[in-house]
Amino acid sequence: MALEGLSINLATLRGAWGFAEAVDGCLARGITAIAPWRDQVAAIGIEEAARIVRQNGLRVTGLCRGGMFPAPDAAGRQAAIDDNRRAIDEAVALNADCLVFVVGGLPAGSKDIAAARQMVEDGFHAILPHARSAGLKLAIEPLHPMYAADRACVNTLKQGLDLAGRLGSDVGVAIDVYHVWWDPDLAEGIARAGRESRIFAHHICDWLVPTRDLLLDRGMMGDGVIDLKSIRRMIEAAGYQGPQEVEIFSAENWWKKPGGEVLDTVIERFKTVC
């Protein structure tokens, strides 16, 4: 029987398994929803990855990732647009619920974050016709402000929703607890996202104290300080009933463990603390 309500972002299993092995591990435990990263798909080939998805009736809750729009020159910005169009094609081939966007930070040599944010918006406008022709939803993932310079200059749920509102109804947000749990306006933002029907994904992990690496030391649910149940209640009250997608970057802990052990722990924590 399928384990309802749980999706595995394959980054969680990056240390142990490739795409096919991760799918096998998930299916063996009744997990039928996944969210791969583009490099994991590329390693096996988009045709083979799509075949595995179809053959096993998998739900792809998102493809990670599009974005990284800002660049110091027009050629760099166009290269990012072209790559995002390819990402759209890959997400469509996998029948993904959405393409998740880490939008990008400051271009090399720049200190102008307002200009970077404008490059992000311009980039979305450039790719939206391609996404719309394919019927694909685009999910902006606001990242914690610690990533504003290098990864994402959209850092709060409000910023993500404001941007999505200027782009159209087929652009929404991916709410990742690691990035938004601290926001004093989180409840208001989730309620607004629900009213606007813009919650396209819900990612979970935990924030460890102390955090040894701001990128690669995410915690297993229940090992940190995030009130996962409270956030999930807000998200469900806002109308989103989709899966909780477990996404754990953990270079010195979970990526060093066997994939089966990681998945078994995810399932146990999903049942008890999520």
Q: What is the pLDDT of residues 88-136, one digit of tens each?
A: 999 999 999 999 999 999 999 999 999 999 999 999 999 999 999 999 9
The whole-number pLDDT of residue 11 equals 98
User: Mind listing the pLDDT tens digit for each residue in 190-205?
Assistant: 999 999 999 999 999 9
Residue 5 has pLDDT above 60, yes or no: yes
Rounded distance, CA 142 to CA 101, Å? 9
Give the residue-averaged pLDDT of 68-79: 98
User: Mind listing the pLDDT tens digit for each residue in 139-163?
Assistant: 999 999 999 999 999 999 999 999 9
Residue 177 has pLDDT above 90, yes or no: yes
User: Mind listing the pLDDT tens digit for each residue in 216-261?
Assistant: 999 999 999 999 999 999 999 999 999 999 999 999 999 999 999 9
Residue 1 has pLDDT above 50, yes or no: no
The whole-number pLDDT of residue 260 equals 98
Rounded distance, CA 89 to CA 52, Å? 17
Rounded distance, CA 21 to CA 8, Å? 13
Torsion-angle region of residue 222: left (phi > 0), alpha (psi -120 to 50) or beta? left
List domains and CATH numbers for the chain.
6-273 (3.20.20.150)
Residue 3 has pLDDT above 90, yes or no: no
The reply to whether the predicted model has a pTM over 0.95 is yes
The whole-number pLDDT of residue 158 equals 98
Banded model confidence at residue 2, pLDDT cuts 50, 70, 90: low
Residue 182 has pLDDT above 70, yes or no: yes
Residue 172 has pLDDT above 70, yes or no: yes
Mean pLDDT of the chain: 98
What residue type is 230 in one-letter code? S
